């Protein structure tokens, strides 16, 4: 295996670790926190966390990753200095303004928008104050993280990310077991994030000489950073609108308990999306470096798409078939009654979204995030319209199906993306892909369904069914010739390495 392939594999594995460790811990932590806080308070807690992650938490820092990768590939790393400083300035401004807005509007949102009960309003307002501070610190953390990704130091980035995730989740579990409320949990989140943000900036400054921790208010530098970031911020605003409207709409129309039953399976959907994103994180800087070498870029795209489809088809099938049993042993039978259908819908929704990640990362990497903005705009329009129309008749299920409708439409954009980036849509490639994946997935689904419906639900059953299903799935794909000879050789070299 050449050094470039080794680097890609290594960085993908580091990215994968940023998904795997938090996932394992969250599976343990979620039921503890839900049962400790109760369905009502957890619903408010989930609402506030939604604002933390999806209100003013914009990916302005991605411009740092793109330009550092691009300028280093061009042999002009010194050009990145102004971009880094300008982006730091933008992050500070967005963090301060965003945090202040959340704090100033806290009372109004709690009483007028989400109509939270009087007895819970004071704690909810304080929770939004914490959210404002966390938003600011999250924007600061982006700077160091983006620098590290731009120079392919996914090892340092993944360590910092994992330390932050482990620290937050472990602290939340301890506080929950000691019967502390959501305000303590949010305070701990803020403290842990502050420490890892400082550490990220420290290591970025140590590893990248051109990283100067200073603000740059010059119009030219900020314009350069905004020129790329504005569309990323735009599509993140759209995504944030969907999530915040979704949670706020459920809270207002159906109440905090309904939101809890909706958000927990939705979180599993986010895990699916974050899993593929973590593996494909390396594509963004690679696409920036290879944007002028379209044959090489196309080869990278095909390989990444194949890996993504291989993983997603199995995850969607396995989780959908085992959804009731999974929720039974994870959250309890009562919770499963309310959330099983939602988990299936969310699993399919985020499976659709995950299939789009490769094309999405390439469009961003070659400097065209505007395209992704308009794709998401159509998705959001469909989803929001459906949520407004179906909540009274279909409750949570209507909200989830509306999200699925929007995400499904986004898949059509893959056809246009390939035409636009590579000059053609490779029908033969996709036909061969689906001809192997669909029958292998169907056979896996049948075997797993027979097992989970015929035996009592337990973690042992779920693990055994998933492993057996995986063996059948991989075996059939090998039989169908899904893995080519050169890919088999690559896997062997990876194992030896």
> Does residue 4 carry a pLDDT above 50?
no
Residue 71, H or E segment? helix 62-74
Inside any domain, residue 492? no
Range of the domain at 67: 3-425
275 confidence band (pLDDT: 50, 70, 90): confident
Inside any domain, residue 432? no
Contact assessment for residue 285 and residue 149, using Cβ atoms and an 8 Å cutoff: yes
> Does residue 67 carry a pLDDT above 60?
yes
357 confidence band (pLDDT: 50, 70, 90): confident
Inside any domain, residue 381? yes
Inside any domain, residue 326? yes
Inside any domain, residue 76? yes
CA distances from 198 to 201, 204, 267 (A): 5, 10, 28
State pTM to two decimals.
0.70
Quick one: average pLDDT of 412-431? 84
> How far, in Å, CA of 5 to CA of 338, rounded?
46
Chain CA centroid to CA 328, Å: 25
Inside any domain, residue 171? yes
For the chain, how many structural domains are there in total? 1
- pLDDT for the residue numbered 1: 45
Angle of CA points 457, 460, 461, to nearest 5°: 45
Out of 291-300, 368-377, 471-480, pick the least confident.
Answer: 291-300
Out of 97-101, 183-187, 189-193, 367-371, pick the least confident.
Answer: 367-371
What is the chain's mean pLDDT, rounded?
A: 80
Percent of the chain at pLDDT > 70 equals 78
Inside any domain, residue 491? no
383 confidence band (pLDDT: 50, 70, 90): very high
Exposure of 88 in the CB half-sphere (CA atoms within 13 A) = 20
Cβ-in-10-Å burial (0-12, 13-18, 19+) of 312 comes to buried
- pLDDT for the residue numbered 497: 43
Of 135-149, 276-290, 307-321, highest mean pLDDT: 307-321
Inside any domain, residue 375? yes
> How far, in Å, CA of 377 to CA of 241, rounded?
11
């Amino acid at each position: 295996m050449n050094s470039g392939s080794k680097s890609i594999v290594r960085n993908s594995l580091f990215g994968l670790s940023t998904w795997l460790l938090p996932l394992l811990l969250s599976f343990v932590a979620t039921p503890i926190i839900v049962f400790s806080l109760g369905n009502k308070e957890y619903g408010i807690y989930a609402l506030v966390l939604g604002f933390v992650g999806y209100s003013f938490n914009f990916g302005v820092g991605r411009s740092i990753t793109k330009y550092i990768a691009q300028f280093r590939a061009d042999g002009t790393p010194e050009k990145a200095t102004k971009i880094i400083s300008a982006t730091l300035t933008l992050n500070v401004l967005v963090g301060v303004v965003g945090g202040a807005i959340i704090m100033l509007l806290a009372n109004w949102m709690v009483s007028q928008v989400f109509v939270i009960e009087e007895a819970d309003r004071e704690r909810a307002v304080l929770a939004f104050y914490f959210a404002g501070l966390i938003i600011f610190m999250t924007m600061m953390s982006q700077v160091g993280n983006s620098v590290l990704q731009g120079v392919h130091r996914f090892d340092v980035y993944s360590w910092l990310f994992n330390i932050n995730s482990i620290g937050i989740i472990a602290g939340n579990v301890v506080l929950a077991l000691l019967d502390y409320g959501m305000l303590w949990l949010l305070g701990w989140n803020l403290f842990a994030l502050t420490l890892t943000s400082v550490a990220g900036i420290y290591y970025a400054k140590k590893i990248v000489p051109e990283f100067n921790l200073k603000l740059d208010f010059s119009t030219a530098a900020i314009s350069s950073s905004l020129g790329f970031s504005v569309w990323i911020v735009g599509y993140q605003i759209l995504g944030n609108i969907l999530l915040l409207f979704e949670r706020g709409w459920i809270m207002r129309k159906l109440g905090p308990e309904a939101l809890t039953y909706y958000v927990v399976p939705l979180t599993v959907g986010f895990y699916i999306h974050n899993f593929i994103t973590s593996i494909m994180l390396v594509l963004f800087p690679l696409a920036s470096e290879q944007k002028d070498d379209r044959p090489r870029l196309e080869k990278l795209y095909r390989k990444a798409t194949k890996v993504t489809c291989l993983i997603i088809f199995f995850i969607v099938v396995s989780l959908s078939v085992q959804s009731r049993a999974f929720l039974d042993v994870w959250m309890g039978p009562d919770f499963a009654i309310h959330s099983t259908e939602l988990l299936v819908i969310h699993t399919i929704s985020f499976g659709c979204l995950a299939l789009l990640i490769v094309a999405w990362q390439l469009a961003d990497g070659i400097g065209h995030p505007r395209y992704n903005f308009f794709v998401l705009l159509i998705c959001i329009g469909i989803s929001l319209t459906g949520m407004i129309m179906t909540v009274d008749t279909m409750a949570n299920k209507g909200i989830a199906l509306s999200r699925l409708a929007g995400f499904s439409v986004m898949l059509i954009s893959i056809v246009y993306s390939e035409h636009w980036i590579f000059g053609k849509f490779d029908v033969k490639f996709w036909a061969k892909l689906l001809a192997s994946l669909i029958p292998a997935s169907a056979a896996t689904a049948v075997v797993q369904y027979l097992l989970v419906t015929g035996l009592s639900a337990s973690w042992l059953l779920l693990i055994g069914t998933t492993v057996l299903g995986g063996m059948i799935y991989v075996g059939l794909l090998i039989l169908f010739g899904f893995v080519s000879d050169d890919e088999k050789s690559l896997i062997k070299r990876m194992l030896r390495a």
